[in-house]
Chain A
Amino acid sequence: MDLFLQTLVSGFLKGGLYALIGMGMTLIMGVMGIINLAHGQIMMVGMYITYSLFALYGVDPYLSLFVSMPAIFVLGVTIQKYLLNPLLRAETILPENQVLMTVGVGMVLTEVMRFIFTSDYKSARTSYSNATFFLGEISFSVPLVIDLFIAIMMTVALFLFLVKTDTGKSIRATAQDKEAASLMGINAERITYITFGLGSALVAAAGTLLMPIFYLFPDIGGPFTRKAFVICVLGGLGSTVGAIFGGITLGLAEAFGATYVAMEFEDMIGLVMFILVLLFLPGGFKRITKI
């Protein structure tokens, strides 16, 4: 029973971070209608920012959120403005080519980071990296609990932004009907910048939160892009609420897979679920939650 609870707890903690990663991708998917295949790589750049601040100036990884998020927001805006939107203007090019562009962006980001930091594993070990506390027999990793707390705060902030502010409403309106949105006076192009920036900042936050417990190397982006995609499909493409469910489901699935099947199958479990969902619940949890 303890093992079961322990697995549940660690899966849930990881799921909170996955939700953050998934929400960033699903926002972009909802508004621009494309899968951002550079998502994990953008996160990786955010992690390197956090690592550099830690290694050079001893900045606590959690504090560096205030640098990594704005910096990656700017990176996201730049990618959207100068690399993705120009593709829309050429009429002969299919919108799918934006997706190919994100693949290219991902590669460039990876190689630039490899050039600067080499392929060596880096980490930001802090005094609390391995700290745990116990509730009964169940152990909680301190950094993961802090991560979950911050992830929840960011999720709440994101929802308040999307529901309460005019800009947030404009993002939702653009996702639902681009043309009607432009009749309302919404500058759709500006919304795409903000959305890509926001989605990138969210995943950068997830990366920064992972830093105290994770190793970092340039190729870490690819697996996370895949995970983000799985989360979005689980949750239903474009659904923000779905991404939270998708993230937590993936976290739990990986944890249970690692505990009850085999450690090596951790990543495979997620992908098997991904295929099962595509086969038996196309549309993801959105079909059930309706949001």
Chain B
Amino acid sequence: MLKVEGLNVFYGDMQALWDVSFEVRPKEVLVLLGANGAGKSTILRTLSGLSCAAEGSVTFNGVRLDQIPADKIIQHGLVHVPEGRRLFPDMTVEENLIMGSLAPEPKRRRQKTLERVYGLFPRLRERMGQYAGTLSGGEQQMVAVGRGLMGLPKILMLDEPSLGLSPLLAQEIFKIIRLINSEGVTILLVEQNVKQSLKVCNRAYVLENGRITLSGTGEQLSSNDHVKQAYLGI
């Protein structure tokens, strides 16, 4: 479905990604694991066009995404929920959600999708007139995920959705991710919360210093000695 081949990405002189290749299969939950600075977010940023690849290709259903500008990518159904939520703080919850549906097709189905998001996050319906900047962290994350869903994603890329949330809220988010996936949306998840994310995922890749070092199913990696030692602390 999404195929990434030989990605080399630089920030100035510093190389952040080294020959990264992986693929996302339809309807799966794929996780990219790795420590801080391993290059996880850089991969998502490159896929959505915020960072440019020096070499390599990103192919999504036959379209070369690395050759089109960042603001056109969402139209192909690849939606990025960025790290740190990045809501529009001085806009209301509903306006934030609407911003997710600017492309022609999502715009046509805006009202319907909005109802679906409010169904998924009843909390947001209560807060729809409130400024996003005044929400709690968990609510902001709900808006961020909801805003992503408004773009009718084929693949939803989530960058550290559990960051800064209480364990309870984090679990809630993982539950919702699974629910979204069961409705047919492919998930590409970047996480530091290794335990939880290995539980929800079908497959995972481990990223170290900008290189992919391991890959396998969630169970395989959970029982892998290196992963246990380095990430699970067992």
Q: Measuring CB to CB, which residues of chain A are less than 8 angstroms from any residue of chain B?
A: 166, 169-170, 172-173, 176-177, 179-188, 291
Interface residue B161 (Cβ < 8 Å from any Cβ of A): no
- What 0/1 pattern do residues 141 to 173 of B give for CB contact below 8 A with A? 000000100010000000000000000000000
Given contacts A182-B50, A185-B71, contact A173 B86 (CB under 8 A): no
The answer to whether A173 touches B88, judged by C-beta atoms less than 8 angstroms apart, is yes
The answer to whether B99 touches A184, judged by C-beta atoms less than 8 angstroms apart, is yes
Task: Report the Cα distance A185→B79, complex, angstroms.
Answer: 10
Nearest A residue (CB) for B150 = A184
Nearest B residue (CB) for A176 = B88
The answer to whether A185 touches B72, judged by C-beta atoms less than 8 angstroms apart, is yes
Q: Which of B90-98, B182-190, B208-216 contacts A (4 or more CB under 8 A)?
A: B90-98
Q: Which residues of B contact A177 (CB under 8 A)?
A: 86-89
Q: Measuring CB to CB, which residues of chain B are less than 8 angstroms from any residue of chain A?
A: 48-50, 69-75, 79-80, 82, 86-91, 95, 98-100, 102-103, 107, 147, 151
The answer to whether A184 touches B102, judged by C-beta atoms less than 8 angstroms apart, is yes
The answer to whether A185 touches B82, judged by C-beta atoms less than 8 angstroms apart, is no
The answer to whether A179 touches B86, judged by C-beta atoms less than 8 angstroms apart, is yes
Q: Which residues of B contact A182 (CB under 8 A)?
A: 49-50, 70-71
The answer to whether B99 touches A169, judged by C-beta atoms less than 8 angstroms apart, is yes
Task: Please list the 10 inter-chain residue pairs (A to B) with the smallest Cβ-Cβ separation, ordered nearest first.
Answer: A180-B86, A185-B74, A176-B88, A187-B71, A182-B70, A184-B99, A185-B102, A173-B88, A182-B71, A185-B71
Q: Which residues of B contact A183 (CB under 8 A)?
A: 48, 50, 70, 74, 79-80, 82, 86
Q: Which residues of A contact B107 (CB under 8 A)?
A: 166
Given contacts A172-B88, A176-B89, contact A186 B102 (CB under 8 A): yes
The answer to whether A169 touches B71, judged by C-beta atoms less than 8 angstroms apart, is no
Q: Measured between C-beta atoms, what is the minimum distance from A153 to chain B in Å? A: 24
Task: Report the Cα distance A157→B98, complex, angstroms.
Answer: 21
Nearest B residue (CB) for A239 = B90
Nearest A residue (CB) for B81 = A183
Can you list 21 A-B contacts with CB-CB less than 8 angstroms, sorted by A residue number?
A172-B88, A172-B90, A173-B88, A173-B91, A176-B90, A176-B91, A177-B86, A177-B87, A177-B88, A180-B87, A180-B88, A182-B49, A183-B74, A183-B79, A184-B99, A184-B100, A185-B73, A185-B103, A186-B99, A187-B71, A188-B71
Known contacts A184-B100, A186-B102, then 4 further A-B pairs from the complex at CB < 8 Å, ordered by chain A residue: A166-B98, A176-B90, A182-B70, A185-B73
